[in-house]
Structure 1
Amino acid sequence: MTVTQTTTKCICGRTLRAAKSVARGYGPRCFAKIQQAAKVVDLAAYKANQVAKAQELIELRAIVRTAPTAFAAVSSDGTATYATDVAAHTCTCKAGERGIRCYHLAAAQILAAA
């Protein structure tokens, strides 16, 4: 009989061991930083539903940092990945290509501030 053990890593690279942290996808320190950043980042340019979707994107770990100001975000239906740049305030989703601030960008701003 072979037993395979999988490990879950936090965005900071640490291994998550506590069941609560594994379920959440973030360790307690990173989770606290993200929660604090969500309170501090100016999201006034976004609608309430966009902020809610941005928080959901973060909770689902459907957005990851690819460079200091760049993130890859998964679409709401999971079929596409968009490049989001916090410094340039751009996203490659349909809304972003029209110059509209999208929830992918809001999520990226929160994570960048964390």
Structure 2
Amino acid sequence: MSTETPTEHRCVKCNRLLRNPSPDGLGPKCRRMIRRAGKAPELAGYKPHQLEKAVENLRQGGLIPLRKSSKNRVYLAVSSDGTSAYRTARAACTCPAGLKAVHVCWHRIAAHIFDLAS
């Protein structure tokens, strides 16, 4: 007889209980909202290749909410090669490109998309 306890899987965005686990950690409604938010007119100023990278990162579950407040939402963003993680928000990021502040990194764009989908 098996003594395994069923594991609860919750959406990383809204914390709802998921019936089926998903590789990106998102529920179907949150995934749909993120897909729609990725095409929002507010994101028109970003470079297309950065926007694609941000959306792909969100689909793979590479952005994890750390703190949810009404003003500052801080996330943990996994790098594209998966070897490191950075703290990011819409205003700043701790990645090398974000620290140089020459241009907006795709981690910040992902945070922007995640906030729009809220």
Map of 1:2 onto structure 2:
3
Alignment of 1:1-114 (within 5 A): 1-10=2-11, 11-18=13-20, 22-40=22-40, 42-67=42-67, 68=69, 69-86=73-90, 89-99=91-101, 100-114=103-117
Alpha-carbon RMSD across the aligned residues, in angstroms, is 1.9
Q: Distance in 2 between matches of 1:44 and 1:28?
A: 25
- Superposed displacement of residue 23, structure 1: 4.3
After TM superposition, the score normalised by the length of structure 2 is: 0.80
The SS at the match of 2:42 is: coil
Secondary structure of 1:51's partner?
helix
1:43 to 1:91, Cα distance in 2 relative to 1, 3 A: same
The TM-score, its normalising length taken from structure 1, stands at: 0.82
Greater share of helix residues, 1 or 2? 1
Identity %: 39
Structure 2 Cα separation of the partners of residues 81 and 23 of structure 1? 18
Q: How many residues align?
A: 110
CA 1:85/1:23 → structure 2, altered by over 3 Å: closer, same or farther?
A: closer
- Identify unmatched segments of 5+ residues in structure 2: none
